[in-house]
Structure 1
Amino acid sequence: MIKPKAIKKSIVLGTLTLLCLILSSCAAVSDTKVLYFAHSLPTSHPVHKGILDMQSILNEKSGGKLQIKVFPDGQLGSEREVLELLQIGSIAITKVSASALSNFAPEYQITVIPYLFRDDAHLWRNLEGEVGEQLLASGSEYLLRGLCFYDAGARSFYTKEKPINSPDDLTGLKVRVQNDQMSVSMANTLGASATPMAFSELYTALQQNVVDGAENNIPSFVTSNHFEVCKYYTFDEHTMIPDVVIIGTKFWDKLSDQEKNWLRAASKESVVAQKRYWKETIAEQMEMLKKNGVQFTYPNKEAFQEKSRPIMENMKKDPKMKAIIDKINAN
């Protein structure tokens, strides 16, 4: 017997699929091809602004022959639901965290290893080089082809009752993490009690003391209004997990070579603007958070790095993962 929850999920996915198929059929009336781009971020987010640049650049390069229509703010489902819709060919493009992709394409687990990237320069040397191209291509066998990486900054801990000055301060704290094994391992290894849950449920969970804190970047901390509940933000910067713009191969394979070139070029060029939007947003939001009573802590990262080191060593037991890690460390 199918459980009620499963029935509900099937109905939701079926409805979304039907909606997208209707939209796609409408777009096919003219000679213009329209790719539907769904994501879960609000329109104020710097990643959404980068997507709008991608939309504009693609329209210009193609002379309006290939266009993007953007559905932000989770209009067509959660990250996982939209990824599944890409796989069945109901939506063309989405933006997700690389950690979410690790549940579909294992190579993306690399991006969730704590302190793998030394700084921004090291991160982008790899993401915009051979390693990045390898990762973007790795999802193709799972029907998810990467187009580019967007800046999602560094993820750090934020808490309700006290600042985190060392890993010892995490002991006994229930910390919300993303629902992937690497994120769970990261929090547990550092001493917290990892609590996976949907991001949409986190504000209430913080209010009701279901969890004591969470970890994320500054823009997500702000746009979610978690700063209203958590007044301590610790810049331990344990991971630098990029966002990934991906297209379903069911759409990609139907594009002509010229259309693929337009889309690739537009996505890559939009990264430059998106990085700028990210930095500008961080500067503005830091000032706003200070005015709202958020206290920032800048701990010595060495203790966090040392305690989390077993995660990288364990990952290296897989020869394929070791080869990627070694390539990143050598870059």
Structure 2
Amino acid sequence: MKKIQKLLVVAVTLLLVFSLAACGSSSKETSSSSSGGEKGKSGDDIQELTIKISHVVAENTPKQAGAIAMKEYIEKESGGKIKVQVYPNSQLFGDKDEYQNLVANNVQFIIPDMSKMVGNDPGFNVPAMPFLFKDDAAAEAFWDGEKGKEIFKRLEKDGVLGLAMWPNGAKHMTNNKKAISKPEDLKGLKIRTQGGQLLEEIYGKLNAGSVSIPFNELYTALQQGTVDGEENTFSNIESKKFDEVQKYTTVMGHTRVDYALLTNTKFWDSLNEKTKEIVQKGVDQGTKVARESAKKLNDESLKKLKDRGQTKINELSPAEIEGFKKELQPIYDEWAKKIGEDIIKDAESKNK
């Protein structure tokens, strides 16, 4: 009898051991499948992610329009598995720290002004090259092409991947002193620019001063005469009401404001094929909307400036533009060597 009891105890014990082992294995499998990490990367499922997009300008801008288009496409096509958070107006990071936080993968997309990127690579001086592009289409064709992608690729040493150019548009000049139609007219004027060595040399060659002032302080600086003028896109001139404190506007298109859509390489490489396809198509949709929005906004802003009639608008003739080109040719030649003559030649070819 005792022997039978002992056998029953052993049997029950073994049964409990096998049962616990099975539960443990099942638990591990459940834990692995719900993590969404490595399984998502190697499998075909859309990964569950939260993506942050940070930029420094307001909501009523082409940059914000493009970011929202990205968000809407990615969230819809992923069935809500991917959440996209957009932070405009430097809510998350500002000009001074957004790139470092992208490198650290604290944010997955930023859209900085290319003028802020010249310290990372001289190729980002391309938008500041005088009269390099005749219109938005030529600039977009360059950045979509081989040489533009080559400049973007140089950021990979930092762990950053350049995906697309989003335009703000061609810049034009305003001032409170006189109409500008030839290089000599700029002599002695103090012009606010975005800063950078190339722009400083351009205005130095035109015998004008180049001053760097934060954008949010510019209206007051113009109003008080701290500077005589500034250069900007039509949308920036109109939305900030610079025409209230600037008597003259010269339609020049001499330089540009363009943005770079950047992502973190570790983040990008962590996406499986299906997820990456959705995110890439979201980038494409955002780029399309940002470009369309920039052109529409600048066209509407020029019309508003004309309708308000507070600034005298003078559009340079082709002959007058040639006069500026001739004066700035030494600067152009010098910086073509610094940026890369092959790059400049490719950019010039997009104007055909």
> Normalised by the shorter chain, which TM-score bucket?
0.7 to 0.9
Alignment of 1:1-331 (within 5 A): 32-292=48-308, 293-299=310-316, 300-318=320-338, 321-331=340-350
- 1 CA distance for matches of 2:181 and 2:169? 20
1:122-152 deviations in Å (ceiling 9; x for gaps): 2222222212222222222233321211122
Question: 1:45 touches 1:223 (CA, 8 Å); kept in 2?
Answer: no
* Amino acid in structure 2 at the alignment position of 1:249: T
Letter in 1 for 2:207: G
Checking the alignment, whether the CA contact within 8 Å between 1:107 and 1:138 is kept in structure 2 is no
CA distance in 2, matches of 1:228, 1:76: 32
Deviation at 1:235, TM superposition (A): 0.9
Q: 1:316 to 1:260 in 2, by over 3 A?
A: same
Return closer, same or farther for 1:144/1:213 CA change in 2, 3 Å cut-off.
farther
Distance 2:74 2:293 in 1: 19
Q: What residue identity is the alignment partner of 2:321?
A: K
SS in 1 for 2:225: coil
SS in 1 for 2:281: helix
- Determine helix, strand or coil for the equivalent of 1:134: helix
Describe the SS at the equivalent of 1:96. coil
1:20 maps to which residue? none
Alpha-carbon separation, structure 2, partners of 1:326 and 1:286: 31
Whole-angstrom distance in 2 between the partners of 1:68 and 1:112: 32
**Contact kept? 1:236, 1:304, Cα under 8 Å:** no
Gaps of 5+ in 1: 1-27
* CA–CA separation in structure 2 for the residues paired with 1:168 and 1:259: 56
* More off after superposition, 43-52 vs 116-125: 116-125
* Counterpart residue identity of residue 343, structure 2: I
- Residue 171 of structure 1 and its aligned partner are, at CA, apart by 0.9
Aligned residues: 301
The amino acid that maps onto 2:214 is A
Deviation at 1:250, TM superposition (A): 4.5
Q: Secondary structure at the match of 2:92?
A: coil
Give the Cα separation in 1 of the matches to 2:269 and 2:257. Answer: 28
The Cα shift of 1:182 comes to 1.9
Larger radius of gyration: 2
Q: Secondary structure at the match of 1:99?
A: helix
Which amino acid is 2:161 matched to?
Answer: R
Is the CA contact 2:219–2:240 (under 8 Å) kept in the aligned structure 1? yes
**Partner-residue secondary structure (3-state), 2:97:** helix
Instruction: Tell me how far 1:157 sits from its aligned partner.
Output: 1.0
Per-residue deviation, residues 27-53 of structure 1 (Å, max 9, x unmatched): x9xx73122111111111122112211
Report the residue type matching 2:328 in the other structure: S
Aligned partners of 1:87 and 1:250 also within 8 Å: no
Task: Give TM-score, length-normalised by structure 1.
Answer: 0.83
Distance 1:214 1:229 in 2: 11
Counterpart contact for 1:171–1:191, Cα < 8 Å: yes
RMSD: 2.2
Gapped runs of 5+ residues in structure 2?
Answer: 1-36, 38-46
Q: Structure 1 residues 111, 278: CA separation in 2 closer, same or farther (over 3 Å shift)? A: closer
CA distance in 2, matches of 1:226, 1:87: 36
The whole-number CA distance in structure 2 between the counterparts of 1:224 and 1:134 is 35
Residue 206 of structure 1 and its aligned partner are, at CA, apart by 1.4
| CA distances 1:257-282 after superposition (whole Å, capped 9, x unpaired) | 43333222211222222222223222
Identity %: 27
State the alpha-carbon separation in 1 of the partners of residues 245 and 290 from structure 2: 29
